[in-house]
Structure 1
Amino acid sequence: MTSVLLAGAGAAMADSDRRIEEFGPIPNPLGTPCEIEFDRDGYLWIEQIAANSMGRFDVESGEFREYPLPTPGAIPGGMELGPDGGIWFPEVIGNQIVRLDPATGGMREFPLPWAGALGNGGGGRYGASASDDLTFGTDGAAYFTLIGLSAIGRLDIKTGEFSKIPIATGAVIAIIQPGPGDTIVAAETVRNQIVVLDLHTLTVREFPLPQPLSGPQGITTGIDGAVWFTEALGQRLGRLDVETGEITEVDLIAKRGDQPLPITPGNPLPVPTTMKTAGDGKLYFTQGGLLFPSFGNKIGVYDIRTGQLEEITTPSPASTPCDLNTQKDDEVWVGLLVANKVGRIQLG
């Protein structure tokens, strides 16, 4: 474990009137922060992908501590604060689910029971399951992606029991989130569909997108009860009414109106990737993240009540916003992959 202080950078004026305050850089040059999560004591935990570690940031004091994963080269995936107070995340290559104790930084690994990369019958240290994101359902269980197995995994965190929910062959799910009611939702990036998992029956419904090669990735539940998602290749946002199956889309390029493509040290296209609903009821989405590394430097904001689009530029050029956190009602936090920093947007 290492400990240093992170300084808050001076906030730069964004395209809108709002600002992003940046903290960093992270001491480890291989930090590459993506997903971030607050624990119950208010510490911000940071997924450090290339460094194979987890960072803990004290927003008030600026102190930063680093905790390496027990398994070398395991690569931490997207995390979530569990109902037990632990920080839970998968290992993309390590073939395990991890519980991090926020009080100590200690980690307990739960090996996935499915075959590893060498087909060793399960329990292998390194695996082809490629679980890269995790969330919790209303039943208290952890649900996680299994890219290499075209499935969604489930872990009962009380008993340690694993189960697997198959999807169609070739389904590539990178992000998984709570859906409306007792559902879990995910985007099938390659097969161009939205997945809705019923937690009562553990059955899957798939909703094909209207336009081919849209590249859905980020997904969240809006304040209107619908499932909203990003289309990274289509430069659009989408809305799914789970009850009717109706899908409507928002063209981000058209929403920009007559504005010219921005000439900045970042990708001029939106490339919407991860997305969350914030405390102000708006959709916040990153532009150019890990799966579509376009070196973007903006956070998009879409108001589903008015249809207005806002874009906020990060002070760091080509920062590549990777993932968002909206646990706090009055703030949005973002991991800046290439800039090796974390950022904060104040709401209100």
Structure 2
Amino acid sequence: MASVTFTMHWNTGTVTSSVRSPRYVPPTARSVSVSVNGGTPQYLNAPATTITIDAPIGTDTFVFQTYDDQNGQGNVLSRASVTQPIVSGAANTVNAVLNGVVASVTISLSNAAPNAGVPATVNVNVAARDADGNTIVGPGDYSVPIHLAVSDSTNSGTLSLSTNNLPNSATTATLTYNGGTLNSGLPAGPTATVVASGTGIAAVSAAFTPKPTIYQFSIPTAANKPRYIAAGSDGNMWFTEQPGNAVARITPAGVVTEFPVPTPNAFDTQGQGPHIIGASDGNLWFTESGATANKIAKITTTGTITEFSTLFAPPPADQPFGLVDRGDGNIWYVAHGSSRVGFVSYNGSQAGETSVPTASAGPFGIATAPDGNLYYTEQNVDKIGRVHDLFTSQSEISLTATSAPFDIVRGPDGNLWFTENGRGNIGRLSPNSFSVTGEFQVPTQQGAPWSITVGQDGALWFTEQGQPLSIVDKIGRITTTGTVIDFPSPVSGLALQGIATAPDGSIWFCEPGSAPATPGRIGKLVY
């Protein structure tokens, strides 16, 4: 046997590892145990500094553990294991550096809420702690490795980690956000988090909640006014321009290409009518609402336009407004000027129209429903109509006076959702009972909601134009349970109009503006 003397360097008592001496001894350590080759441990209690033990001649394994109480009682805070030869007749020095025993972890992000829509990389700050809450600074590996994972139920791939494992305090990690849509920044949205865990350790997480942000893109001709917008099968957004008499394409990066409509004065002078949709035939379809145009048209994603005249010549002018792809091989539309409902087949070989029950109703928007019927708003008479085809009777229900219903869309809950431009409400209609089951005031008084679309987040998004025009300029969001919020446009006076959801989930909208003071723009909201 040989005698081995150990000297324990107790720390100065501070909890700050960077100024503690020695750095790797927990400040709350009160005793240390030493055992040889798995034998009975011997204990050294603070503030004593030396302990002498007997060790067999040969190669021995020494195990050290610190505790937060005397005589090896309480929590194990750190440990070390050293194997080395012991000789007789000479001084035996055994050096051991203690490594913390991980009992818990903390996690935070250097920037948890960057602007949505812009790629960002943030630091993932993870601290392993012992049972007394002391931060473990190394220098060796943790007693158990820390595992990192992204929890994002809404958009897999939007977030990624530089590493998934932290074996020690010297290993760092970053979180990369690709700028895509992430519901985490919305109120009550499913939160995206970075989760830190380890064997025997309670998992903890840090939320990543990008701030919903609006971006704006100029159009080539400042005097042109974007009116309505839709997603194309090519991954771009397409919109109508009046004045400008054109359909335009805008890429996700904001590059705009304009395609003139062959018919002069194709759109109504007020710009209320030139709706546009993406259809299942791969084309974009739009209405030519001008008093002398009276056409339904389609444009390919390469810019080729084909026009189809509606069946009934003036008077009164059809002035088609809203349109929808029913999925039956036809595009259905409402004729605002003649108060009719009509359709045209994808190839234009078949078409038809029928009058709505109420004269001068001014139908504005049209949508499909799960029951197979079509529902349309009647702006002039505060009604909503229902039609199955041109050969069956139609039904109508009345809304509150001055509602002035504009746009309508099939919601993710199977109900019809519509804007009440006159009363500043978003309405909900059940196709089962053909009755209004809810009216929800928009946050801004006189918000005058105009267009409405379904977001990938399962909510409805709408534009608020304002009364008189251009005093609101906000994008609103309403859940299917009726919770409403809105987001102001960075520039006022743009009179927001059409709105649509892009393939990546971002919300695009038209800002007609009033050139030259506030030239027209296309807006994009990323959340």
Query: Shared topology, TM-score over 0.5?
Result: yes
2:380 matched residue in structure 1? 190
Note if 1:100 corresponds to 2:299: yes
Residue 331 of structure 1 deviates from its aligned partner by 1.5
Query: Residue 447 of structure 2: which of 261, 264, 270 is its match?
Result: 270
Q: Are the equivalent residues in 1 in contact too, given 2:308–2:348 (CA < 8 A)?
A: no
Q: What are the residue-to-residue correspondences of 1:247-286 with 2, within 5 Å?
A: 247-252=436-441, 256=443, 269-286=446-463
Q: 1:83 to 1:312 in 2, by over 3 A?
A: same
Residue 295 of structure 1 deviates from its aligned partner by 4.2
TM-score relative to the length of structure 2: 0.55
Report the secondary structure of 2:497's partner residue.
strand
Q: 1:316 to 1:114 in 2, by over 3 A?
A: same
2:286 matched residue in structure 1? 89
Residue 146 of structure 1 deviates from its aligned partner by 0.9
Mark the runs of 5 or more structure 2 residues left unpaired by the alignment. 1-116, 119-186, 188-210, 268-272, 514-518
Query: In 1, Cα distance between the equivalents of 2:310 and 2:383?
Result: 26
Note if 1:232 corresponds to 2:421: yes
Query: Residue 135 of structure 1: which of 299, 321, 324 is its match?
Result: 324
Q: What are the residue-to-residue correspondences of 1:207-226 with 2, within 5 Å?
A: 207-209=397-399, 211-226=400-415
Mark the runs of 5 or more structure 1 residues left unpaired by the alignment. 1-7, 10-15, 120-126, 262-267
Query: Residue 42 of structure 1: which of 235, 258, 261 is its match?
Result: 235
Q: Partner amino acid for 2:374? A: I
Q: What are the residue-to-residue correspondences of 1:149-228 with 2, within 5 Å?
A: 149-167=338-356, 168-199=358-389, 202-209=392-399, 211-228=400-417
Q: Are the equivalent residues in 2 in contact too, given 1:78–1:134 (CA < 8 A)?
A: yes
Residue 164 of structure 1 deviates from its aligned partner by 0.6
Residue 337 of structure 1 deviates from its aligned partner by 1.3
Aligned residues: 309
Note if 1:22 corresponds to 2:221: no
Identity of aligned residues (%): 24
Residue 150 of structure 1 deviates from its aligned partner by 1.1
Query: In 2, Cα distance between the equivalents of 1:37 and 1:169?
Result: 30
Note if 1:297 corresponds to 2:473: yes
Q: Are the equivalent residues in 2 in contact too, given 1:183–1:198 (CA < 8 A)?
A: yes
The RMSD of aligned alpha carbons is 2.6
Query: In 1, Cα distance between the equivalents of 2:468 and 2:227?
Result: 13
Note if 1:74 corresponds to 2:266: yes
Q: Are the equivalent residues in 1 in contact too, given 2:371–2:431 (CA < 8 A)?
A: no
Report the secondary structure of 1:132's partner residue.
strand
Larger RCO, structures 1/2 (Cα 8 Å, 6+ apart): 1
Q: Tell which deviates more after alignment, 310-319 or 337-346.
A: 337-346
Q: 1:165 to 1:21 in 2, by over 3 A?
A: same
Report the secondary structure of 2:337's partner residue.
helix
Query: In 2, Cα distance between the equivalents of 1:37 and 1:309?
Result: 23
1:123 matched residue in structure 2? none
Residue 155 of structure 1 deviates from its aligned partner by 0.7
Query: In 2, Cα distance between the equivalents of 1:319 and 1:72?
Result: 25
Residue 327 of structure 1 deviates from its aligned partner by 4.4
TM-score relative to the length of structure 1: 0.81
Residue 286 of structure 1 deviates from its aligned partner by 0.8
Residue 92 of structure 1 deviates from its aligned partner by 0.8
Query: Residue 244 of structure 1: which of 407, 430, 433 is its match?
Result: 433
Q: Are the equivalent residues in 1 in contact too, given 2:497–2:509 (CA < 8 A)?
A: yes
Q: Are the equivalent residues in 2 in contact too, given 1:33–1:48 (CA < 8 A)?
A: yes
Residue 284 of structure 1 deviates from its aligned partner by 0.9
Query: In 2, Cα distance between the equivalents of 1:295 and 1:106?
Result: 37
Q: Are the equivalent residues in 1 in contact too, given 2:452–2:460 (CA < 8 A)?
A: yes
1:334 matched residue in structure 2? 509
Note if 1:59 corresponds to 2:252: yes
Q: Are the equivalent residues in 1 in contact too, given 2:470–2:494 (CA < 8 A)?
A: no
Q: Partner amino acid for 1:23? A: F
Residue 329 of structure 1 deviates from its aligned partner by 5.5
Query: In 1, Cα distance between the equivalents of 2:412 and 2:440?
Result: 20
Report the secondary structure of 2:259's partner residue.
strand
Q: Are the equivalent residues in 1 in contact too, given 2:227–2:510 (CA < 8 A)?
A: yes
